[in-house]
Amino acid sequence: MTRHTVLWFGAAVALSNAMAEPLTVESPDGTLSASFEVKDGALFYSVSEANKPVVGSSKVEILRDASMELKEHSLRENDTSWKPVWGQFSTIRDHHRELNLSLTANGMPVTLLCRVFDDGLGFRFVLSEESKGKKLNFTNEFRLSDEKGFYHPRGEQGVSGPLRRDELKGVPVPLVQIRDDGSARAWFESDIYSADGFESMRTTYDKKTGVFTSTSSATSTGRGQVTPWRVILLDDRVGNLAVNTVALNLAAPCKLEDTSWIKPGKGLWDWRVHGYDNGDFVYGIDTRSYLRFIDFCADQGIEYFTVDDHWFLSAKDGKIEVSPEVDIEKVMAYAKEKGVRIKLYYDRKKGNFGDETLFSHYAGLGASGMKYGFMGKRAGFTRAAMEAAAEHRMVINFHDGPAPMAGVERTLPNLITREYCHAQQDSRRAFTPETFLKMVMVNGLIGPLDMANGNFGIGSINAGERQKGPKKKNSYISTVTSEVARTLVVYSGLITLPDAPEEYLKKPDLFEFLKQMPATWDESRVLNSKIGTYITTARRSGDSWFVGSVNDQNERTLEVKLDFLEAGKSYEATIYQDAEDSHGVKNPEAYEITTKSVKRGDVIPARMAVGGGHAMILRPAK
C-alpha cells in the first residue's frame, strides 16, 4: 500500500426488521449509488447513476427463499493505493465507500458487503460459523428497463450480440450492454478465487417476468467463507470498461511473498508455424524446429517460447511418453543456455498423469511455465493449478474455455494469460476484425487474454501454406499493421507471437514495434471505441507511449488526440500505418513507417484500410 486513508463515517446502528428508508451507499464522487432494504422478509437492492435507475429493485439471497432480517449496518470510506506485479497500471487506486449489513437468513447470521466506486460496484456475502454445512444459493436478480444491445462471450465462436434481452438464455460472463447513447454496462464476478466451493455464476433471463437472475451454489465451510463479488461496471464508452480496475480492487491481494520470478513478456509459439517451408527448412514437431525457434527468441530478445501439443504422446501414472522426434532434455538445456524461458503444453485428454506430480515434473524439466489444456471451467481445479504452478515458480496460461476468474491475476500473478476467447484461427477458423474488436470489449473484462495476434505472413497463411492455418483459404482478414496494433490493444501478460521467424525477419522495421513494446505498463487509456467497429488504446511505459488502433472491414480515419502527453515537451513519433493500397484481403502486407515531431494537443489521423490498423511509438525528443 502506498497510501492509506480509511474514514469510518457511520457507526453500527441497530435496526428493527421494518425499515422506513432504504440504506444507501454512494460512490466517492456521489454519482453512483446502491440501496438495500428488507421487505416482507426478503432483501432487495437497486442501483442508480446520476439519480437515474440502472438496476430496479431486485432480490438478492444467500439461502433459497430464506426469511431475512436486518440487525445493524455501518458505512466506511477507503482510499488506498497498491502496486500490481504486472498489468495495465503500475499503481492502482482503491477508492470506494462500503456498506456493511449485518443480517440473519432463517436466523443464521450473515454479512453483506457492498463497495461502490466511481465507475462500478460489487457486493458479496460473508458467512458465519452457524452456516457451516448449509447449502448456499447466492442469487441476485437484476431488473433492467432496456430491451436491446446485449453481448456475451461464445467460446471459440467469438461473441454473441447485439441481442435483444428476450434472445438471451444461459449467459456466460461477462454480460455487456451498449445503450442507445453509447454508454456501457457490464455484469460479472470477481474474486471467485477466495470463494471456496463456488463456480462461475450462471445468468438466465425470464421472458415472463422480464428479470435476469444470476446464481451460483456451494456448501458452506463456516466462519469467514465468502461468496464471489457480483460486479457491475458503468461507463460512458464501452472501451473504458477494458481498463476499469473495479474487479482488481475487489480481488484478494497477492498471496505470494516472492514474485521476483514472475516475468511478463513476449513469446514465440510453434503451433501455427507447422508446415512452414522457408525453402531450406520445414518446421515441424521436432527437436531441430524447437532449437531454431529458441535461436530466434535469443537473437531478437523474445523472452518465451511455447512448445505446444504433441511434444509428448501420452501422460499416465506419473510418466510422460515423449514423441520420438523430440529430445526434450536437449531442448530445455539449449533454452537455458540461450536465456529463453520455455512454456510447455500439458493436455489432460492424453491421460491421468497425476496432478500432484505434474508441476514438479515440469519444473524438473526446467519449464518456466505451463500452457494447460482442456481442464474445463472448474474454479476449484483452476485455483489448485495456479497454486501448484506458483509453488514450483511457473507461470500458467489456461487453454480453451477456462474458468473466468476475474481479478485473479492480482491474487496469483503467475496467471499470466488465458484463452477465454476465440484465439486467432481456433479450430482452424480465422476470426474477423469485428470478432477481435468485440472480444477486447467483452471477453477482455475478465482479465488478460491470449488471442495469439501478430501474424506477419498473412499471404502465406491465406494461401494454405501452414498445416494448421485456416481451413478456408483467404478467410483471414487483417493487415500487418492491424496485427501489430492488436498485440498492444489486447491486455495480456504474455504476448503470444504465432508466426514463423522468417516472416518477422522479412519486415524488421515493422517487427521493431513488437520488440520495443513491453508486456506490462504504468498507465493505460482507451481513446476511441465502438464495439465491433474500432478501438484506439494508448499505454505508457516510463516516459514513452505506445498507441494502437484496430479497424473493422470499412475504411476509416480516426482522430487520435495526443492529450495524454506531458505538456511543454516535444516527442518523436514513429508511425506505423496501412499503405494507400493496403487491404485486409487483397493486399494485407503493405505498410508504411514515418516519423514526425508531436506535442500535447496534436491530433494524428489514423488512416486504416479494410481490416486495417495503425500504431505509434511516442518518445520524448532528445
pLDDT tens for 182-235 read 999 999 999 999 999 999 999 999 999 999 999 999 999 999 999 999 999 999
Domain boundary among 479, 514, 549: 514
Do 299 and 189 share a domain, yes or no? no
Query: Per-residue b/e over 228-263, b at no fewer than 16 CB within 10 Å?
Result: bbbbbbbbebbbbbbbbbbbbbbbbebebeeeeebb
The CATH number of the domain where 423 resides is what? 3.20.20.70
Residue 34 falls inside a structural domain: yes
**Whats the size of the chain, residue-wise?**
622
Residue 587 falls inside a structural domain: no
Question: Looking at residue 15, what is its pLDDT?
Answer: 45
Burial of 431 from C-beta contacts in 10 A (0-12 / 13-18 / 19+): buried
Question: Looking at residue 7, what is its pLDDT?
Answer: 46
Residue at 573: amino acid letter: A
Decide: helix, strand or coil at residue 443.
helix
Domain boundary among 227, 250, 273: 250
- For 453, the grid coordinates are 495476434
pLDDT tens for 94-113 read 999 999 999 999 999 999 99
Do 312 and 242 share a domain, yes or no? no
CB 504 within 8 A of CB 300: yes
Cα separations in angstroms, 147 against 53, 185, 235, 316, 469: 15, 14, 19, 51, 39
The angle at the Cα of 547, spanning 546 to 548, to the nearest 5 degrees, equals 130
Residues 6+ apart with CB under 8 A from 18: none
The DSSP code sequence of 240-288 is GGGG--HHHHHSPPP--S--TT---EEEEESGGGTT-B-SS-B--SSHH
**Is there a cis peptide before residue 162, judged by omega within 30 degrees of 0?**
yes
Residue 520 falls inside a structural domain: no
Residue 58 falls inside a structural domain: yes
Question: Looking at residue 267, what is its pLDDT?
Answer: 98
Do 442 and 346 share a domain, yes or no? yes
- Whether residue 13 is predicted with pLDDT greater than 80 in this model: the reply is no
Do 269 and 301 share a domain, yes or no? yes
Give dist(CA 324, CA 3) in Å, integer.
56
Do 235 and 374 share a domain, yes or no? no
Residue 563 falls inside a structural domain: no
Cα separations in angstroms, 320 against 307, 325, 357, 381, 428: 15, 14, 11, 21, 27
Do 302 and 359 share a domain, yes or no? yes
Give dist(CA 401, CA 428) in Å, integer.
16
Question: Looking at residue 290, what is its pLDDT?
Answer: 98
Question: Looking at residue 11, what is its pLDDT?
Answer: 43
Give dist(CA 551, CA 612) in Å, integer.
5
Residue 174 falls inside a structural domain: yes
The DSSP code sequence of 508-527 is HHHHHHHHH--SS-SEEEEE
Question: Looking at residue 360, what is its pLDDT?
Answer: 95
- For 135, the grid coordinates are 447449502
- Whether residue 239 is predicted with pLDDT greater than 70 in this model: the reply is yes
Average pLDDT over residues 15-31: 78
Do 327 and 424 share a domain, yes or no? yes
- 14, β-bridge pairs: 72
Do 287 and 409 share a domain, yes or no? yes
Better-scored residue on pLDDT, 36 or 350: 36
Do 316 and 200 share a domain, yes or no? no
Average confidence score pLDDT of the chain: 95
Question: Looking at residue 318, what is its pLDDT?
Answer: 85
CB 276 within 8 A of CB 465: yes
Question: Looking at residue 400, what is its pLDDT?
Answer: 85
Question: Looking at residue 5, what is its pLDDT?
Answer: 44
pLDDT band at 49 (very low <50, low <70, confident <90, very high): very high
Do 465 and 335 share a domain, yes or no? yes
Residue 550 falls inside a structural domain: no
Residue 306 falls inside a structural domain: yes
E-state strands within 128-286 = 135-142, 150-153, 159-163, 175-178, 184-190, 202-206, 211-219, 229-235, 265-269
CB 116 within 8 A of CB 34: yes
Residues 6+ apart with CB under 8 A from 68: 38, 41, 42, 43, 61, 103, 104, 105
Question: Looking at residue 18, what is its pLDDT?
Answer: 42
Average pLDDT over residues 432-449: 98
Domain boundary among 514, 549, 570: 514
Which residue reads 432483501 in cell numbers? 43
**Positive or negative: CA dihedral 126, 129, 130, 133:** positive
Do 436 and 478 share a domain, yes or no? yes
pLDDT tens for 575-598 read 999 999 999 999 999 999 999 999
Query: Per-residue b/e over 300-315, b at no fewer than 16 CB within 10 Å?
Result: bebbbbbbbbbbbeeb
CB 11 within 8 A of CB 74: yes
The CATH number of the domain where 22 resides is what? 2.70.98.10
Do 21 and 72 share a domain, yes or no? yes
Q: How many domains does the chain have?
A: 2
- For 106, the grid coordinates are 432463517
Domain that holds residue 289: 265-514
pLDDT tens for 128-137 read 999 999 999 9
